[in-house]
Amino acid sequence: MRLSRRCAQIYGLGALALLLTGAPAQAQDYPTKPITIVVPLAAGSGMDSLVRLYADKLQQLLGKPVIVENKPGAALMLAAAAVATAPADGYTLLVSTSSAMAINLVLYKKVNYDAVKDFVPVSFYVKSPFILVVNPDLPAKTVPELIKLAKDSPTPLNYSSPGAGVAQHLSMEYMKQRFNVNMVHVPYRNTPQSITDIVANHVQLGFAEAGASLPLIREGKLRALAVSALTRIPTLPDVPPFAEAANAPDFEAVSWHMLYAPRATPKPIVDKLHAEMNKIMRDPEMKQKASTIGLLPIDPPSIAETEKYLAAEREKWGSLVRKLGLEGSQ
């Protein structure tokens, strides 16, 4: 009997030791099989191109294949919903943006995931700024001139976006409210159409994605007045940040790309992925490649800092969607 009790005690201590050491061992052994990164946009998009670049680097660092799977659809929410229900073991990751993780949560009646409870940010590595562009025939050559023109015009200026509730639309509404100007929104079905109609002067202005508008700016078919990030972007070094151009130091209206894991993924695995992504995204070559496709590379902040940023972004865009009366409109 005493021997049995002693064996039970030893067994119990062994089980406790396994519990205490299991998580670090998980991270130490990870990964033991291929990792999949789910991208919510089609192959060939700027986001997809950048993910494929760092997936190759991640594969080299981790020693296992890193597969990029494109799952576009449902305003970037199809991919998020798929990864939300994936096993929380570090082998299925998601790339997402402000649309799926901040705006759509309020804009859509039904969202099949919880951005807070279902996901943990692994790496916040680029911002996706917009460029405030106008038709070259518009007299305004600076942001203050544009604001004055909009206020003085007997008929409101028209601005385009790829659709109601998208980041470009909300960025312009954010500007309108901040500077008390009246402009009429003209929604389009996609980005190219919304930009080409500024070129054709069917609408006068809009916040446009850098990648889609840069060639037209360089050809003189669009005039760039400002970028929506707090810093200049390398591809347009002469175009000031909106914050500087309008003397509004805290004005920022950007989207962003973040790598996520399911929330229940063991912390040591999340920390390992975060550390490897830091190495990759701090590399000057990766920063240069991100810049060439119109993105603004950043040194990835800590996971805790990223969580705070996400909370602020959800509040910022969610409150604007409600103020515009768009809550549950999609």
Residues 107-164 have pLDDT tens digits of 999 999 999 999 999 999 999 999 999 999 999 999 999 999 999 999 999 999 999 9
What average pLDDT does the segment 41-50 reach? 92
Which regions of the chain carry the CATH code 3.40.190.10? 130-245
Write down the pTM of the prediction.
0.86
Pick the CATH number of 25-127+257-323 from 3.30.420.40, 3.50.50.60, 3.40.190.150, 1.20.1730.10: 3.40.190.150
Lowest mean pLDDT among 11-25, 54-68, 188-202, 256-270: 11-25
Would the pLDDT of 215 be above 60? yes
Q: Could you tell me the pLDDT band of residue 201, with boundaries at 50, 70 and 90? A: very high
Which helix (H) or strand (E) covers residue 4, if one does?
A: helix 2-29
For 130-245, which CATH superfamily applies? Periplasmic binding protein-like II (3.40.190.10)
Q: How far apart are CA 168 and CA 239, in angstroms?
A: 18
Q: Are the beta carbons of 138 and 130 closer than 8 angstroms?
A: no
Q: Are the beta carbons of 162 and 194 closer than 8 angstroms?
A: yes
CB within 8 A of 71, min separation 6: which ones?
Answer: 38, 39, 40, 78, 79, 82
Q: How far apart are CA 252 and CA 132, in angstroms?
A: 12
Burial of 79 (0-12, 13-18, 19+ CB in 10 A): buried
- Helix 267-281 × helix 46-62 angle, to 10°: 110
Which regions of the chain carry the CATH code 3.40.190.150? 25-127+257-323
Would the pLDDT of 186 be above 50? yes
Q: Are the beta carbons of 54 and 259 closer than 8 angstroms?
A: no
Would the pLDDT of 19 be above 90? no
Choose between 25 and 289: higher pLDDT: 289
Going across the sheet that includes 296-297, the strands are 66-70, 35-39, 92-96, 255-262, 119-128, 296-297
Would strands 255-262 and 119-128 be described as parallel, antiparallel, or unpaired? antiparallel
Q: How far apart are CA 25 and CA 18, in angstroms?
A: 9
